[in-house]
Homo-oligomer: A and B are copies of this chain.
Amino acid sequence: MNDSPRRKELTRQAAQLFVQEGFDRTTVRMLAQEMGIKSGSLFHHFRDKQEILAAVIEEGTQNALMIARDALDNCDSNPEARLHAMARAHLETLLTDRNAHVVALYEWRRLDPEARDHLGHLRDAYETLWEEVLDEALAADLIRGDRFLVSRFVMGALNWTVRWYDPRGERSPEDLARELIAMITHPAR
């Protein structure tokens, strides 16, 4: 539709509800209430409920991509540092912001085919970034295994944190990143 600041703010609020309740359980009335408007007014900003989901997922993936690129640009160039930067960036978008990126990962299946098609390249760009960093780690013998499987196992371990992580606990996303890297890397010999 458009990408006014207003729409951006509404998208941000929708993301929070989608994480809390799940997309299917979130009604347009709940969304409108969260936004401080009536449900009818919502459809001035979004064509339908699907479009809200697409906006959230686009926002979440774009944001994750940006933060990951930033982190990679500002860390040491050795494979371990890059791996750690990538994992930390991923966890921070999932656990600190706790919003749009979670929706992108957990509600992807709810996108209709057209939206999935339109957003596929964004998702691919993010996954490619991961695969590059993992390729470097594999080439340096920091990790061992099949590239495809390693990337999926690592992403799984990271993405599942959403289910158990307690932000009020004593572990930071950075702690988690460090521990995961320690678990899967073979120290220099």
Interface residues, chain A, with chain B CB atoms under 8 Å away: 22, 24-25, 109, 143-146, 149-150, 152-161, 163-164, 171, 176, 179-180, 182-184, 186
Given contacts A149-B179, A155-B160, A156-B163, 10 further A-B contacts (CB under 8 A): A22-B24, A24-B25, A144-B183, A150-B183, A152-B157, A152-B160, A153-B157, A153-B180, A156-B159, A160-B160
Main SS at interface, chain A: helix
CA distance A28 to B109 in the complex (A): 21
- Which residue of chain B lies nearest to A160 when distances are taken between CB atoms in the complex? B156
**Closest beta carbon of chain B to A72's beta carbon, Å:** 22
Decide: A179 and B146 in contact? CB cutoff 8 A: yes
Q: Out of B143, B144, B159, which one reaches A160, CB within 8 Å?
A: B159
- Which residue of chain B lies nearest to A107 when distances are taken between CB atoms in the complex? B22
**Copies of this chain assembled into the complex:** 2
**Closest beta carbon of chain B to A9's beta carbon, Å:** 27
- Which residue of chain B lies nearest to A155 when distances are taken between CB atoms in the complex? B160
Q: Out of B152, B163, B164, which one reaches A161, CB within 8 Å?
A: B152
Q: Out of B25, B157, B171, which one reaches A156, CB within 8 Å?
A: B157
| Residues in chain B near residue A145, CB distance under 8 A | 179, 182-183
**Closest beta carbon of chain B to A169's beta carbon, Å:** 10
Given A24-B22, A144-B182, are A161 and B150 neighbors across the interface (CB < 8 Å)?
A: no
Given A24-B24, A145-B179, A179-B145, are A158 and B156 neighbors across the interface (CB < 8 Å)?
A: yes
Return the 8 tightest CB-CB contacts between A and B, nearest first: A156-B160, A24-B24, A153-B157, A156-B157, A157-B157, A149-B179, A145-B183, A156-B156
